């Protein structure tokens, strides 16, 4: 007889309710990551887009738990470019299309606004449970966003962003709420005194770089504990002040790959044109961009990881 209890069931609101603004927002508060995906989120005219665990769906299942349906599983780490912001049907996202292209179980762990710190927290909990054969890390820009958006009077940004961020719940003191009724985004990840500026990026220091590099390293090493592989992909951006800093973080990815067995680097920038048809803006894919991204990625994964 096992000493372990069966996994409990967790229940969330079953349908949108006008008196509960959580049902209308993509996001909800979270004790460790500040915000996460709201399991009850259901855009007008669409099915629920998130699982009970706060992952974006890649299939019709309500949960990421349960027996795997294929012999290969993929865990996708990232922010809004992995979540696929502004694409309201999960069946148009690249993680869903990737699952179809290679017949794999794919877990979309992307959350808008999340950086590698939040992604690592989630991965440390769910990685050892899901034990994906492959972890895709498509994340760099959001580690720079706090420096760009943080208040100008802050000479430096603390490692945990303590001096610029706002609790999503907004329940402490007179802090303004980041969560607002009927707002399908985060009203403000940062304080209401944000100072978005290219100059803010100058606060991204060698220490900040090493912290991101270390988190990449920790993800790679965690995957090794169950015999998984990691595929680092430089995040695409069409110019702007972030670009040189992102390139620096992409170099960190390459250093980590050299130091870790089972880690790989795939420079998709050489294969995906940065043209308007494939993007909604500077970074976020259009549905056709998701098509192309998933096709290129599928070919690479089949070549390296699936025999």
DSSP letters for 209-253: HHHHHHHHHHHHHHHHTTT-EEEE-PPP--SSTTHHHHHHHHHHH
**How many Å apart are CA 183 and CA 168, to the nearest integer?**
13
Residue 124, both tokens: 């440390």
The CA-based angle 13-18-21, given to 5 degrees, is 70
Instruction: State the virtual CA torsion across 32, 129, 290, 182 in degrees, nearest 10.
Output: -40
User: How far from chain centre, in Å, is Cα 31?
Assistant: 17
User: How far from chain centre, in Å, is Cα 14?
Assistant: 25
Please return the burial class of 18, using the count of CB atoms within 10 Å of its CB with bins 0-12, 13-18 and 19+: exposed
Contacts 24+ apart (CB under 8 A), 170-178: 178/35
* Ramachandran bin of 29, using left for φ above 0, alpha for ψ from -120 to 50, beta for the remaining angles: beta
Superfamily of domain 60-144+204-304 in CATH is: SGNH hydrolase (3.40.50.1110)
pTM of the prediction? 0.89
Domain chopping of the chain, boundaries: 60-144+204-304
Share of the chain above pLDDT 70, in %: 83
Comparison of pLDDT for 99 and 161, the residue scoring more: 99
- Mean pLDDT, residues 168-175: 40
Q: Which residues of 218-257 are buried (b: 16+ CB within 10 A; e: fewer)?
A: ebbebbeeeebbbbbbbbbbeeeebeebbeebbebbeebb
pLDDT at residue 185 greater than cutoff 80:
no
Query: In this structure, what are the phi and psi dihedrals at residue 142, rounded to the nearest 5 degrees?
Result: -70, -15
pLDDT of residue 166: 57
Categorize the per-residue pLDDT at 165 as very low, low, confident or very high, splitting at 50, 70 and 90: low
Least confident of 98-102, 163-167, 170-174, 216-220: 170-174
- Mean pLDDT, residues 92-114: 96
3-state secondary structure of 277: helix
DSSP letters for 284-297: PBPHHHHHHHHHHH
Query: In this structure, what are the phi and psi dihedrals at residue 74, rounded to the nearest 5 degrees?
Result: -135, 135
pLDDT of residue 152: 84
pLDDT of residue 262: 96
Q: Would you say 81 and 284 are in contact if contact means Cβ atoms under 8 Å apart?
A: yes
Q: Would you say 289 and 279 are in contact if contact means Cβ atoms under 8 Å apart?
A: yes
**How many Å apart are CA 112 and CA 149, to the nearest integer?**
15
């Amino acid at each position: 007889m096992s000493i372990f209890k069966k996994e409990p069931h967790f229940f969330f609101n079953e349908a949108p309710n006008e008196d509960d603004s959580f049902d209308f927002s993509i996001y909800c508060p979270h004790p460790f990551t500040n915000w996460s995906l709201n399991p009850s989120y259901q855009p007008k005219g669409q099915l629920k887009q998130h699982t009970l665990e706060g992952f974006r769906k890649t299939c019709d299942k309500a949960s990421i738990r349960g027996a795997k349906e294929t012999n290969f599983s993929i865990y996708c780490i990232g922010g809004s470019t992995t979540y696929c912001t502004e694409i309201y049907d999960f069946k148009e996202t690249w993680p869903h299309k990737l699952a179809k292209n290679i017949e794999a179980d794919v877990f979309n762990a992307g959350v808008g606004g999340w950086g590698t710190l939040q992604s690592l927290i989630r991965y440390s909990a769910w990685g050892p449970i899901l034990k994906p054969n492959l972890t895709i890390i498509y994340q760099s820009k959001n580690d720079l966003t706090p420096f760009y958006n943080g208040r100008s009077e802050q000479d430096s940004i603390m490692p945990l962003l303590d001096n610029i961020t706002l609790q999503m719940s907004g329940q402490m003191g007179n802090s303004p709420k980041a969560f607002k009724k009927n707002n399908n985004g985060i009203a403000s990840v940062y304080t209401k005194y944000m100072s978005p500026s290219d100059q803010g990026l100058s606060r991204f220091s060698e220490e900040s770089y090493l912290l991101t590099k270390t988190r990449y390293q920790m993800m790679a090493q965690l995957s090794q504990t169950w015999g998984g592989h990691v595929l680092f992909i430089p995040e695409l951006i069409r110019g702007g002040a972030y670009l040189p800093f992102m390139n620096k973080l992409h170099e960190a990815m390459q250093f980590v790959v050299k130091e870790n067995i089972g880690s790989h680097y795939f420079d998709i920038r050489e294969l995906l044109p940065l043209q308007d048809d494939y993007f909604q803006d500077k970074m976020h894919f259009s549905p056709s961009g998701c098509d192309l991204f998933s096709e290129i990625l599928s070919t690479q994964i089949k070549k390296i990881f699936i025999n």
